Amino acid sequence: MALLFVGVLMGALDLAIIGPALPAIQADFDLNNRQLSWLFNIYVLAQLVGTPLLAKMSDRYGRRGIYVLCVLGFALGSFMLVIATDTSMLMVGRGVQGLGASGIFPVAAAVIGDTFPEEKRGGALGLIGAVFGLAFLIGPVIGGILLQWAWEWLFLINLPIAAILAIAAWRLLPGAGAEQPLPFDWSGGVLLTAMLLSLAVGVTNLDTVNLVVSLSSLEVWPWLTGAIILLPVFWKVEQRAEDPVIRPSFFKSRQIRVVMTVAAGVGTIESAQVFYPALAVAALGVTESVAAWLMLPAVFVMIFVSPIAGRLVDKMGTKIIVNVSLFLLFAGVLVYGLAPITLTTFIGGGMIAGVGLAAILGAPLRYIILEEARPEDRASAQGLLNIFLAIGQLMGAAIVGSVAASKGGGQLGYQMAFLVLAIFCLLITGVSLSLKKADAESFS
């Protein structure tokens, strides 16, 4: 658990830790705002593309080798950032870093499924889930401390940690892969990569202030069109593949269909968190730094709730935890959408939504996937869950931005956007009611 916890924390921290370093990196490399945005986004895009491929490889060739490869890849990307001499090397290093991080979480979840008894998986998954709240909390603090010397230290510190993790993983993690590994599905992998990349670039380039005009621009519509065209082609290839990257039979399980729908919905609402400080600035008249501090109570709640929810999954099953979590998420977002925004309602709404978000993202969805997928497909199924979460996250930012812009921005615009998301969350809660009470719907 310590090995898995530190590995996931290392990958998650580099999403949160880079924020304080961006001004220094921008000054050193003379980056414009668009390049600066891509320095952040390329890490996320690399994770989106790499997750299903590396997860599948861990199913075929063993957890140990792929986990070590991911950790070393993350270290290589960190080193490239430290020694970068131009913008291109900086971007490539950040992409390599994201690619390495992409396999760490699904492999960690699969290892829990492989090694933990059923009655303890929820608690273990909940503890791993708490990492992301912890990373959000301590990332900026660590970044601020290391920046006293140089921004390169934010990435140089990863090297000894990665070395220790790689050695420990080689000693501790199970090394066996599939008994009879079939040829890797490179056609499916290439198509999936192209499809996800097209979707991500198209959505990232959307201008939510001028959504209609943006959809017709060359930076958006060719990419989105490409993703739409590639989807049925990818699905057809996977149905014929001996060992597909994403097994079509996953979707024969009602549990998995519901979980993926819920995951996309939760991802959509999760991405709205980045707009909470903007609402505080508009409604309370505070500075951006104060607005960020007002988020801390919600972050503290998320860190503590995730492991607790995981233990409750072990005792009560997944359905009730998913249902209650989604209702709390709905209630918290509804506060932002309808209530007069005061200091009390802002912090309270964030904490309520934080409880719901932490409880559902930490253990229950991943627990269901572990139960539904065959042991030899556990990492692939976890990777698929990550894809649906990421697609939701991409769409959520676009939805909030476009709804807020349609109302002229400011407090009214953001509250209308959160009201729309609250209604959307209520619909997702309704979908979750169709989950089975028993978490053992198996398929072959």
DSSP 139-157: HHHHHHHHTTT-TTHHHHT
pLDDT above 60: residue 440: no
3-state class (DSSP) for residue 30: coil
DSSP 345-399: HHHHHHHHHHHHHHHHHHTHHHHHHHHHS-GGGHHHHHHHHHHHHHHHHHHHHHH
DSSP 204-222: HT--GGGHHHHHTSTTTHH
**pLDDT band at residue 181 under the 50/70/90 scheme:** low
**pLDDT band at residue 222 under the 50/70/90 scheme:** very high
Q: What is the mean pLDDT of residues 400-424?
A: 87
Of the given ranges (81-85, 95-99, 440-444), which has the lowest mean pLDDT?
A: 440-444
Q: What is the CB neighbour count within 10 angstroms for residue 167?
A: 12
Same fold, 1-174 and 264-435: yes
Q: Please give the biggest Cα pair distance in the chain.
A: 62
Q: What is the mean pLDDT of residues 394-410?
A: 80
Among candidates 98, 93, 96, which has minimal Cα distance to 80? 93
Q: Are 162 and 74 in contact (CB under 8 A)?
A: yes
pLDDT above 70: residue 442: no
What is the model's pLDDT at position 117? 86
Per CATH, the homologous superfamily of domain 1-174 is MFS general substrate transporter like domains (1.20.1250.20)
pLDDT, tens only, 231-254: 999 999 999 888 898 888 888 889
Question: Rounded to an integer, what distance in angstroms lies between the CA atom of residue 203 and that of residue 212?
Answer: 13
* Mean predicted lDDT score pLDDT of the chain: 86
CATH code for 264-435?
A: 1.20.1250.20
Question: Rounded to an integer, what distance in angstroms lies between the CA atom of residue 73 and that of residue 78?
Answer: 9
Q: What is the mean pLDDT of residues 6-22?
A: 79
pLDDT above 70: residue 208: no
Using a CB cutoff of 8 Å and minimum separation of 24, what contacts does 162-168 make?
162/10, 162/71, 162/72, 162/74, 162/75, 162/78, 163/75, 165/3, 165/6, 165/7, 165/10, 165/71, 166/68, 166/71, 166/72, 166/75, 168/3
Reported pTM: 0.84
pLDDT above 70: residue 330: yes
Question: Rounded to an integer, what distance in angstroms lies between the CA atom of residue 315 and that of residue 306?
Answer: 15
Q: Are 58 and 103 in contact (CB under 8 A)?
A: yes
pLDDT above 90: residue 163: yes
CA end-to-end distance (rounded Å), the chain: 30
pLDDT above 70: residue 331: yes
pLDDT, tens only, 89-148: 999 999 999 899 988 888 888 888 888 888 888 888 888 878 877 776 677 677 777 778
Question: Rounded to an integer, what distance in angstroms lies between the CA atom of residue 412 and that of residue 15?
Answer: 30
Q: For residue 307, what are its two tokens?
A: 């492991």
What is the model's pLDDT at position 177? 63
Query: pLDDT above 70 covers what percent of the chain?
Result: 94
Question: Rounded to an integer, what distance in angstroms lies between the CA atom of residue 357 and that of residue 301?
Answer: 10
For the chain, give every domain's residue range: 1-174, 186-245, 264-435
